[in-house]
């Protein structure tokens, strides 16, 4: 099975698992940044924390090295809200941070397509409007390893795009239900 098929199967299983989770509130939407465009699913875990699952088309190599196809990645983060402010009209701004995991099939800097796996961090803010629309901005660094096959041997290098992409903010728009 190809790398993309394996990654797709894992992502589908994670989405089905999270879809059955008993959560208080949920939101689904899109994220946009230089590193890629993704679909995100977020659910409230209670006690000031929420989990997020993201499926993303990684476009860094398309912009920098003029590649034809984007990579594919999935990530899961568990975020804790460390500050919350409520306005008079009922809108809420939450500041959050949390750890997570990321994996996928991507091209790294000056390297062929391969699999990556790493630890992901997330820090940012989200504005929850009463109209059930959430807008967020965050930074999401990934520290990990990039595995690729070269001359019949498997090589492992640091995943350099994971840190490069961390300095580029990610903007998200979600619908809460």
Q: How confident is the model at residue 7 (pLDDT cuts 50, 70, 90)?
A: low
pLDDT greater at residue 13 or residue 110: 110
At CA 93, angle to CA 90 and CA 98, rounded to 5? 140
Would you list the domain boundaries of the chain? 3-19+26-176
Instruction: Tell me: pLDDT of 4 over 90.
Output: no
Instruction: Tell me: pLDDT of 120 over 90.
Output: yes
What pTM, to 2 d.p., does this model score? 0.80
Identify the pLDDT of residue 61. Answer: 66
Query: What would the mean pLDDT of 89-95 be, rounded to a whole number?
Result: 92
Identify the pLDDT of residue 23. Answer: 43
Identify the pLDDT of residue 160. Answer: 82
Identify the pLDDT of residue 144. Answer: 92
pLDDT greater at residue 71 or residue 5: 71
pLDDT greater at residue 49 or residue 68: 49
**pLDDT by residue (tens digit) across 140-176?**
999 999 898 878 888 888 888 877 777 889 999 999 9
User: If you ran DSSP here, which 8-state letter would residue 25 be given?
Assistant: -
Neighbours of 153 (CB within 10 A): 7
Q: How confident is the model at residue 65 (pLDDT cuts 50, 70, 90)?
A: low
Query: How far is residue 161's CA from residue 148's CA, in Å, rounded to a whole number?
Result: 15
Query: What would the mean pLDDT of 57-73 be, rounded to a whole number?
Result: 76
Neighbours of 73 (CB within 10 A): 25
Q: Does domain 3-19+26-176 have CATH number 3.40.50.300?
A: no
What is the overall mean pLDDT for the chain? 84
Identify the pLDDT of residue 139. Answer: 94
């Amino acid at each position: 099975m190809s790398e993309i098929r394996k990654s797709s199967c894992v992502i589908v299983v994670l989405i089905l698992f999270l879809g059955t989770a008993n959560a208080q509130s949920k939101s689904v939407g899109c994220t946009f940044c230089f590193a890629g465009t993704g679909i995100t699913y977020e659910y409230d875990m209670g006690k000031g924390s929420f989990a997020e699952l993201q499926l993303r088309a990684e476009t860094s190599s398309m912009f920098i090295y003029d590649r034809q196809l984007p990579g594919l990645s999935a990530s899961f983060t568990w975020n804790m809200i460390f500050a919350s402010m409520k306005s008079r009209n009922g809108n809420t701004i939450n500041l959050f941070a949390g750890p997570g995991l990321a994996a996928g099939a991507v091209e790294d800097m000056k390297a062929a397509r391969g699999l990556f796996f790493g630890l992901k961090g997330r820090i940012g803010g989200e504005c929850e409007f009463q109209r059930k629309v959430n807008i967020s901005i965050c930074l999401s660094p990934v520290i990990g390893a990039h595995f690729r096959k070269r001359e019949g041997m498997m090589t492992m290098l640091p995943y350099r795009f994971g840190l490069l992409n961390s300095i580029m903010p990610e903007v998200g728009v979600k619908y809460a239900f």
